[in-house]
Amino acid sequence: MSEEHKEEDKDFTEKAKDTANEIGSEAKETAKEFGDAVKQTVNSQDNKKILAGVLGIIFGGLGVHKFILGYNKEGIILLVLSLLGIVTCGITSGLAWIVGLIEGIIYLTKSDEEFYNTYQAGKKPWF
């Protein structure tokens, strides 16, 4: 192999190494940004754990915690059960309040990440 070809091979190898290092650095930076974005989302106001939990305990029978999480159908079901309980003197209203209380406690006992993944990202409507 001539000196000229050896020099070309050396230049090519150096350029390949530089390119690989740049790609690796960009990949690391992208992964770090993605991880930071996930952490920010889990810890941001998008995570409605405390609000939904407290409202579930206090106003659970009215389905307010369901509306906060965007579960409108389930919120309406709890609200209707509560209103029926007023008309029928009791049982359905009590059931709605118990469901709200239990869900509020469950929400507050989950970690932020678990709550977000289960009820906001995973869209699990009940318990």
- The alpha helices in the chain, defined as continuous H runs, are 3-43, 49-59, 64-69, 72-88, 91-109, 112-115
The predicted structure's pLDDT at residue 39: 61
Residue 126 in any domain: the answer is no
The predicted structure's pLDDT at residue 108: 93
The predicted structure's pLDDT at residue 123: 83
Residues 56, 19, single domain; the answer is: no
Nearest to 84 by CA among 73, 72, 71, 97: 97
Nearest to 119 by CA among 43, 39, 65: 65
The predicted structure's pLDDT at residue 21: 80
Enter the pTM of the model.
0.61
Nearest to 74 by CA among 53, 99, 40, 91: 99
Ranges under pLDDT 50 in the chain = 42, 45
Structure token digits, residue 24: 């690796």
The predicted structure's pLDDT at residue 45: 47
The predicted structure's pLDDT at residue 107: 93
Residue 23 in any domain: the answer is yes
Residues 54, 39, single domain; the answer is: no
Residue 38 in any domain: the answer is yes
